[in-house]
Structure 1
């Protein structure tokens, strides 16, 4: 894992080009030239990026898409894009303030100051892939060479050097080198081994990267090969319509080797920067859980025929005249048997990664999010420790409204940090203890359901706060080893550290039928809890962290689990008193730290007040029930039996979004979204102070500068 100082993440590419590139030449019509601030985008590869070059070569309709129903959602007439509408690079261009990048072989296009699209549907890195029917990658590189000569002739060397150096070069290539043999019913790579064949493909890609580098290009955006083995076309041609295991193995090897080769190039070639987008994970996630991404079908094409509409017949001009077209294109991940629809392409452009995906080789204009605390923020760390179901939420009906399968979040869907990440333009923050997660450049979630600031709180069943801090220590060492001190210092300094902790230090005592603070006074016990929190804040500050987000404790005394355990089902007054004291002391301590610690900034969200409002007047906030859990048993659904975790039966409400509480201790996704919005922007009543999280994420600099920005 590593980063480049100036490179941009793939999906942030368009959004951050103004930062990433300097002034580029804009070729005007006529004889007068002038410089404008923009960046060029040159596009290479295959049908994922081809905007219509194959319309202008001698090929067959197998390699064209310039007929109905292609383009049906956006372009009339069809342009040659292999989709119902726009492709990934079209959205990237839009976000960068660029026009649609012109198709190079279209004779009507003569101005390429904003870039050029050389991609050809069916092209591979190997010349042999679909030879004679497509524009292979080396020929695309030759076209770029011709265009460079044109620039030098018309603009001069200095302006051309600037244009080429500042430009971004986007690639999607390699998939056809593996798909082409399958289409010809050949062994995928006979007579080569998997490794030898992949090495040839990666070698040819590397040759093109170096060719562009030699011309002055420095910034590369590369898509991984998607999960070809399970494309509708591949499955339709197999007995039982199963995925092709050999193809799965070789594409995985390709993506792994691509990553390693890019890392080598970054070390070997001065100034080489890249952004590799994990398209494989993004597509796989949508195929497995289409509803999570707004689709209804993730394995069947909208347009085609046969099983899964996987026969490549869309448009009726490819040998099979009859084809089916779905009623609503947006319901389908795939438009035809190979290619995504416009909605999916926009998502790939908007969201560069899903939970646990990799996006390497970039140091981006983003702020990382590191998450500490308890079940309010835990995204599933307790799945990976030796604990009991009481401290887990990785079984039905947890996640029922959003995640399938459940992730370990203590809710029916997303929780506060998920929405905060979304608002900040980040992916879902990876769960630190999940062994599948290895990339933490956008942050890490260390939170553990049931954790407190004391090691003694729920000891042996959770990851306490100081251990979570140790995990950050370990991650910092990893960053320094892979990124170097300078980049790590920047990452830690810019990051936001989100906390929810303390409630279990009071809560667990009640669960154990003990006096909440015995043998301490309320004041002493709260002082110890807040003191331990302060210790962690100071340690993060020592590492360079400056921006803390934390919520007040909610009104735990009236939680369903507390009320259900009391003789008259009333609120627990002592808990109410002590949590109020905690919140006051926490606020005072944060104010002190702001004065004592250089650059210390914080966002304190008044969760207590906002929870009380919704419990007392649920209808005001779009809810119907504010005191009873949707999932559980007993009075108020307050017995912690959701999912049968206590070995007992449980009730599940009909409409989760009507409820403030999902289970006896945690809120529904609807409520967490409301809290996150207030946390992010402060709301009309400024329930988040002295800064809202939006200010912490977007502001860089001194507290005074941030305060001015927030005003």
Structure 2
């Protein structure tokens, strides 16, 4: 099957009204009953709700300003897609597995950490920019979590009952760092050669969760169009002829499309092996690409321009002065601060999405319009 959205996002947009109703008030969310009593998430910074900063405390600056009013361990000004999904299901925001203080795991846990890769990284995060908490490590953490749940026998007030493990929704959103971490040094064609291994790791993880944990419901997110990210438009060498009509890098997005097709094909094979499980492919790429290409059609103003950055210009991104940082540049103090209106931006910091963009992506995901097989979360919950 050729991947992609069934119809354009603008024609599917009315379907999102159903999901919007699910995200109304916290009181209504608290009364909602959903098929899934818990969510277990695996991933990178696109779904990290505080794991990386629990392990390496340092987050500061304007992160979290829109929703939390302070840095909240997320690479955004507010909530992530996984936050909106949890809230739509009437669940609390997921506690990071690595967070030792204030966590509540009765409704799931988040194993995602910023800079994580699907494949095992070679060296330290401080050398390569990739996290030590790769997908294999996150899987092992889930198995240890399972062991603690079984050992507690329901007597630990911060842990779920063992029955939740089989009934929970398992979400996987990883692979972007495997693709982007070597783009500058190797180029897109060399990076593409490693992508089958990335996809194999994700597919193997699903099968391991199925057999060892009893997981039966999976949502697997594909990769967003990194060729539209301000960080890669401003920070990596490229040929101006390699830009499409929307200003995105064609070769990068072509590599992403190749990866997404590999992932979709691999998940089709996984379904044959776990026939009593639901393995859903989520086309985050189509939704995000639409936001970058037509931001004003969805109530936004800026596509490939960072809200939080330094340098101004088309992209407002400087790889040496990242969001929240203050440095001396050419003898003068430089600070990468946030814009006053993140609700008008797709990109928060040049790499990650704003809460405004995340909410729109989440609505599309919840509606099931961008999933294969169709997976309408809004119909799995009742007031």
Q: Which category of TM-score, normalised to the shorter sequence, fits these structures? A: 0.7 to 0.9
Report the CA distance between 1:282 and its aligned residue.
0.7
Report the CA distance between 1:346 and its aligned residue.
1.0
Per the alignment, residue 177 of structure 2 pairs with: 176
- Cα distance in 1 for residues equivalent to 2:123 and 2:230: 20
Per the alignment, residue 113 of structure 1 pairs with: 106
* Alpha-carbon distance change, 163 to 219 in structure 1, aligned in 2, over 3 angstroms: same
- Cα distance in 1 for residues equivalent to 2:122 and 2:224: 17
Report the CA distance between 1:18 and its aligned residue.
4.3
How is 1:295-314 mapped onto 2 (pairs within 5 angstroms)?
295-306=300-311, 307=313, 308-312=315-319, 313-314=322-323
- Cα distance in 1 for residues equivalent to 2:45 and 2:181: 13
Per the alignment, residue 337 of structure 1 pairs with: 350
SS in 2 for 1:304: coil
How is 1:390-405 mapped onto 2 (pairs within 5 angstroms)?
none
* Alpha-carbon distance change, 115 to 19 in structure 1, aligned in 2, over 3 angstroms: closer
Per the alignment, residue 127 of structure 1 pairs with: 120
- Cα distance in 2 for residues equivalent to 1:262 and 1:302: 35
- Cα distance in 1 for residues equivalent to 2:68 and 2:47: 15
* Alpha-carbon distance change, 107 to 305 in structure 1, aligned in 2, over 3 angstroms: same
- Tell me the alpha carbon deviations over residues 65-114 of structure 1, each in whole angstroms, 9 at most, x when there is no partner: x2121111111331120100111111111111111111111111453111
Pairing partner for 2:374 from 352, 359, 362: 362
* Alpha-carbon distance change, 161 to 265 in structure 1, aligned in 2, over 3 angstroms: farther
Report the CA distance between 1:136 and its aligned residue.
1.1
Per the alignment, residue 350 of structure 1 pairs with: 363
Per the alignment, residue 315 of structure 1 pairs with: 324
* Alpha-carbon distance change, 132 to 366 in structure 1, aligned in 2, over 3 angstroms: closer
* Alpha-carbon distance change, 365 to 170 in structure 1, aligned in 2, over 3 angstroms: closer
Matched, 1:213 2:229: no
The structure having more radius of gyration, on CA atoms, is 1
- Cα distance in 2 for residues equivalent to 1:330 and 1:68: 18
Counterpart contact for 1:67–1:80, Cα < 8 Å: no
Per the alignment, residue 197 of structure 1 pairs with: 194
Per the alignment, residue 187 of structure 2 pairs with: 187
- Tell me the alpha carbon deviations over residues 481-512 of structure 1, each in whole angstroms, 9 at most, x when there is no partner: xxxxxxxxxxxxxxxxxxxxxxxxxxxxxxxx
* Alpha-carbon distance change, 106 to 229 in structure 1, aligned in 2, over 3 angstroms: same
Report the CA distance between 1:58 and its aligned residue.
4.5
TM-score of the pair, normalised by structure 1: 0.43
Report the CA distance between 1:366 and its aligned residue.
7.6
Per the alignment, residue 72 of structure 1 pairs with: 65
- Cα distance in 1 for residues equivalent to 2:70 and 2:52: 15
Per the alignment, residue 100 of structure 1 pairs with: 93
Counterpart contact for 2:308–2:337, Cα < 8 Å: yes
- Tell me the alpha carbon deviations over residues 558-604 of structure 1, each in whole angstroms, 9 at most, x when there is no partner: xxxxxxxxxxxxxxxxxxxxxxxxxxxxxxxxxxxxxxxxxxxxxxx
Counterpart contact for 2:33–2:90, Cα < 8 Å: no
- Cα distance in 1 for residues equivalent to 2:328 and 2:198: 30
Report the CA distance between 1:56 and its aligned residue.
2.6
Report the CA distance between 1:275 and its aligned residue.
2.6
- Tell me the alpha carbon deviations over residues 301-351 of structure 1, each in whole angstroms, 9 at most, x when there is no partner: 111123501324110158974224322111111111001111111111112
Per the alignment, residue 293 of structure 2 pairs with: 288
* Alpha-carbon distance change, 352 to 68 in structure 1, aligned in 2, over 3 angstroms: same
* Alpha-carbon distance change, 303 to 365 in structure 1, aligned in 2, over 3 angstroms: closer
* Alpha-carbon distance change, 139 to 316 in structure 1, aligned in 2, over 3 angstroms: same
How is 1:11-30 mapped onto 2 (pairs within 5 angstroms)?
18=33, 20-21=35-36
Return 5+ residue gaps in structure 1 as ranges. 3-8, 22-38, 368-697, 699-711
Report the CA distance between 1:188 and its aligned residue.
4.0
Aligned length: 334
- Cα distance in 1 for residues equivalent to 2:273 and 2:258: 22
TM-score of the pair, normalised by structure 2: 0.78
Counterpart contact for 1:161–1:216, Cα < 8 Å: no
Aligned-pair Cα RMSD in Å: 3.3
Pairing partner for 1:88 from 81, 92, 97: 81
Q: Larger relative contact order (C-alpha < 8 A, sep ≥ 6)?
A: 2
Per the alignment, residue 261 of structure 1 pairs with: 266
How is 1:418-567 mapped onto 2 (pairs within 5 angstroms)?
none
- Cα distance in 2 for residues equivalent to 1:363 and 1:188: 32
- Cα distance in 2 for residues equivalent to 1:360 and 1:130: 36
Per the alignment, residue 280 of structure 2 pairs with: 275
- Cα distance in 2 for residues equivalent to 1:122 and 1:149: 27
- Cα distance in 2 for residues equivalent to 1:333 and 1:365: 24
* Alpha-carbon distance change, 162 to 310 in structure 1, aligned in 2, over 3 angstroms: same
Report the CA distance between 1:115 and its aligned residue.
0.5
How is 1:687-698 mapped onto 2 (pairs within 5 angstroms)?
none
- Cα distance in 2 for residues equivalent to 1:211 and 1:203: 12
Counterpart contact for 1:225–1:279, Cα < 8 Å: yes
Per the alignment, residue 138 of structure 1 pairs with: 136
